[in-house]
Chain A
Amino acid sequence: MDELDFLKNHWQKEQHFPQIKAKEIQAMAHRSSSSVVKWIFVISILEFFLGWAISFLLPSIEYRSTFEEVFVTALEVVFYVVIIYFIYQFFASFRTIRNTKDTKSLLTSIIRSRAHVERYIKFNIYYFSVGIFTASCFTLYEKVVVDANGSTGRLVFYVFMFVLMMAIVSFFFIFIVRLYYRIVYGLLLKRLNKNYEELLQLEQEVE
């Protein structure tokens, strides 16, 4: 008899657990869940709000040309269409999370709905960067044409300031986003991803 069968013999006989009364089970059933999925849901909703709030941080500019107005409006339309798409995708995939599925399907559905939110956040960052970049380009163009007056010194100064500002903003955002994901992944998804990878690995095994 191998070790596990020896343990099995004992396991089958062992029924000595403190028994929980029906009343207590009933009370437990109505307590609030602290599952990973619940946390993912709450955090995702907060992220959606954050993404939406970021759109207000974009500098509001007075349009200096019709081209600028059309361009910025088009960007905004794209932004809202994509946001609505992401939110729809998130809710649609979130609804497929069921604790009665097999383990692999359950893990897949959790990871998939989380991935929608990550794509949403990435999109927001790209959008924000494009927004800052566009606004800066318009400003730079105006400065070069109107203020620089052909002076090379000023032109170099403006371009230098522009590059510096873009670099600072980019670094700041990359830092914040990395830190944020490290915390979220560390707390919530590390174990989940590990188990998912373990299952994938298990499937690749051959005798």
Chain B
Amino acid sequence: MNPELEQQFVLLLEENQNILHKICKLYAADRDAHKDLFQEMVIQLWKAYPTFKGQSKFTTWAYRVSLNTAISLYRVKKRRVETVTWDYAVHNIQYEEYSSEEEDKLSYLYAAVQELNDIEKALVFMYLEDKDYAEIAETLGVSEVNARVRMNRIKTKLKVILSQRGAL
């Protein structure tokens, strides 16, 4: 493989690696799974990189390949119990500017998002990344209206999960 291309890829990815970490945060149940998924995403991105011609931004392209890896390609290895999932979701949060009430709310929210299914997580991820519905719909291969409708349902679903936990 072209070493120049490889160098370019590695540097771009190093700079934008938080995209991958954030997806791992939603899809991986624990630290080992985070590492596994991160690595598979790097492999998939590198595999696809020669076809990346710069028609779109590197990040837009990376969102798509990485989400595809998390949703369709990555093989989940079951090894931990569910309580660890919870710990992991909560552990990564940095709370510097939040009140204790807000801290609790955030912890519950992260845990609630973990309970969504793979497709819903993808929608939430792109929403959190401030992507518009056109881009969300295009990435998932659904219509914009449907993406919007589902997003509203997710918001309701999250409310339900939170109120069940007594966090609302």
Determine whether B51 belongs to the interface, using a CB cutoff of 8 Å to chain A: yes
B76 touches A191 (CB 8 A): yes
Chain A residue contacts of B43, Cβ below 8 A: 28-29, 31-33, 35
B18 touches A205 (CB 8 A): no
A195 touches B130 (CB 8 A): no
Determine whether A81 belongs to the interface, using a CB cutoff of 8 Å to chain B: no
In angstroms, Cα B39 to Cα A39, docked, is 17
B118 touches A191 (CB 8 A): yes
Interface residues of A in 13-37 (CB under 8 A from B): 14-17, 19-22, 25-26, 28-37
B158 touches A100 (CB 8 A): no
In angstroms, Cα B52 to Cα A21, docked, is 22
Chain B residue contacts of A62, Cβ below 8 A: none
Chain B residue contacts of A15, Cβ below 8 A: 18
Kindly provide the distance from the CB of B76 to the nearest chain A CB, expressed in whole angstroms: 7
Interface residues of B in 126-141 (CB under 8 A from A): 127-130, 138-141
Task: Determine which of A10, A35, A101, A110 lies in contact with B75 in the assembled complex, contact meaning CB atoms within 8 Å.
Answer: A35
In angstroms, Cα B102 to Cα A14, docked, is 15
Number of interface residues of A (CB under 8 A): 53
Determine whether A117 belongs to the interface, using a CB cutoff of 8 Å to chain B: no
Determine whether B28 belongs to the interface, using a CB cutoff of 8 Å to chain A: no
A103 touches B122 (CB 8 A): yes
Chain A residue contacts of B80, Cβ below 8 A: none
Contacts A6-B109, A34-B75, A99-B47: A22 and B14 contacting too (C-beta < 8 A)?
yes
In angstroms, Cα B52 to Cα A36, docked, is 23
Give the secondary structure class of A's interface. Answer: helix
B14 touches A202 (CB 8 A): no
In angstroms, Cα B119 to Cα A99, docked, is 16
A102 touches B118 (CB 8 A): no
What 0/1 pattern do residues 148 to 191 of A give for CB contact below 8 A with B?
Answer: 00000000000000000000000000000000000000001001
Interface residues of B in 1-55 (CB under 8 A from A): 6, 9-11, 13-14, 17-18, 21-22, 38-40, 42-48, 51-52
Determine whether A98 belongs to the interface, using a CB cutoff of 8 Å to chain B: yes
Chain B residue contacts of A207, Cβ below 8 A: 145, 148-149
Task: Determine which of A7, A99, A106, A206 lies in contact with B109 in the assembled complex, contact meaning CB atoms within 8 Å.
Answer: A7
Contacts A25-B42, A34-B40: A99 and B68 contacting too (C-beta < 8 A)?
yes
Given contact pairs A7-B109, A17-B22, enumerate 11 new A-B contacts (beta carbons under 8 Å).
A6-B102, A6-B105, A17-B17, A25-B13, A33-B47, A100-B61, A103-B140, A195-B71, A198-B120, A199-B141, A205-B146
B residues touching A (Cβ–Cβ < 8 Å)? 6, 9-11, 13-14, 17-18, 21-22, 38-40, 42-48, 51-52, 61, 64-65, 67-69, 71-76, 92-94, 98, 102, 105-106, 109-110, 113, 117-120, 122, 124, 127-130, 138-143, 145-150, 153-155, 158-159, 162
16 contacts between A and B (CB under 8 A): A7-B106, A8-B128, A14-B94, A17-B92, A20-B14, A29-B42, A31-B39, A35-B74, A100-B48, A100-B51, A102-B138, A102-B139, A103-B67, A105-B141, A198-B119, A203-B146
Closest 5 CB pairs of A and B: A104-B141, A102-B141, A29-B46, A17-B21, A35-B73
